[in-house]
Amino acid sequence: MSISSDRIAWEEVIEAKAFVDMARISPQPFKDSVEFTCMPVGKGCAISLPMAPAVGLNRILALNDRDELNLAFEWMKTKTGRRHVQIRETSASHELRGWILDQGLVENGAWMKLTRPVPSAPLAMEGPVRTRLAGFDDAPIFGRLTCAGFGFPTELEPLWSCLVGKKGWACFIAELEGMAIGTGAMFMEDGYAWLGGGTTLAEYRNRGAQKALINARLNEGLAQGVSHFAVETAEPQEGQPNISYANLTKAGFTPSYIRQNYLLPN
C-alpha cells in the first residue's frame, strides 16, 4: 500500500542509482573494512557507511511506499552511525507523517533538489581554473582530493577513487596554476545524470573551481547524450550564505523540491 500516490521523481531515481552503483563497484576489502553496505529497494535504496560524517552515506532515499520504507527502515536499524530517512516534502501525506511519528524520527535539516535540462551548446570555460576528465592514473589523487575537500577520513579515499574510469561515471579534477584543487563526479544512465562529489580544498575556495566543475560536467553530459541533470544541496536559509546553491542556480539549475532529513533515534 502506498503512503503517497506521488510517483518517485526521476531526480530521486538517478541519485539512488548512483549510490547503488557506487556500492557495487567499491572494492570488497574496502567495503568490509568500513562496513559499507547498500540495499536497493524499489526505485530507491538504503545506504550505510557508519564512519562517514555525511548524511548522504547513511540514509534511506527515493522511497514512499509503506512496505518498501518499512523494509529499508528495518535494515537501517541494524546499522550504526547517524542514520537518516529522506522524505520529499510534497510526498509527505498525512499517512506518511504518521509513519514518521510512529518511527520516532526527528527532523534534522533539509536538502534542496535542483534540476536543469542539457545546455544547447557547450558552455564556455572562463576564469583561471581549468578542469580535466580524470583517467585511471588520477584515481588516487581524485580520492585524496575529494576526502580532503569534504573533511572525510582518509580511510574513505577508495570510495571516490574507485569511480574514476568506470562505466557511467565521469570524474573531473579542477586545477589552478597546475595545482589540483577540487573534484566533481557525475553518474549517467538512460539520458539522466546526477552530479555529486563536488568539493574544493578549503584554501582554494571562492576562486571559481565549483563553477568550472559544474560546467565541465554539463558539457560532458551534453557530449554523452544526457537530457536532464539533477543535484542537491542544503536548503537555503534566509540571511545565511549558501555558495553551493548560488553556484548551481547561476549554472541554470532550478529548485525542484525540498527533501527533509529525519534522524533515526539511537
Note the pLDDT tens digit of each residue in 199-258: 999 999 999 999 999 999 999 999 999 999 999 999 998 888 889 999 999 999 999 999
148 and 182 belong to one structural domain: yes
Tell me if 257 is assigned to some domain.
no
- Separation of alpha carbons 68 and 45, rounded Å: 9
Question: Which of the two residues, 241 and 196, has the higher pLDDT score?
Answer: 196
- Separation of alpha carbons 246 and 253, rounded Å: 10
Residue 39 has pLDDT above 90, yes or no: yes
**In the predicted model, what is the mean pLDDT of the chain?**
94
137 and 218 belong to one structural domain: yes
Q: Is 258 left (phi over 0), alpha (psi -120 to 50) or beta?
A: beta
pLDDT of residue 2: 33
The CATH number of the domain holding residue 218 is: 3.40.630.30
Note the pLDDT tens digit of each residue in 185-194: 999 999 999 9
Tell me if 239 is assigned to some domain.
no
Q: Is 206 left (phi over 0), alpha (psi -120 to 50) or beta?
A: left
141 and 215 belong to one structural domain: yes
Question: 0.85 exceeded by the pTM?
Answer: yes
- Separation of alpha carbons 103 and 93, rounded Å: 16
Question: Which of the two residues, 144 and 5, has the higher pLDDT score?
Answer: 144
Work out the pLDDT band at 3, boundaries 50, 70, 90.
very low
pLDDT of residue 4: 39
Tell me if 264 is assigned to some domain.
no
Tell me if 92 is assigned to some domain.
yes
pLDDT of residue 91: 67
Domain that holds residue 25: 10-111
pLDDT of residue 18: 98
Note the pLDDT tens digit of each residue in 44-85: 999 999 999 999 999 999 998 889 999 999 999 999 999 999
How many domains is the chain partitioned into structurally?
A: 2
pLDDT of residue 136: 96
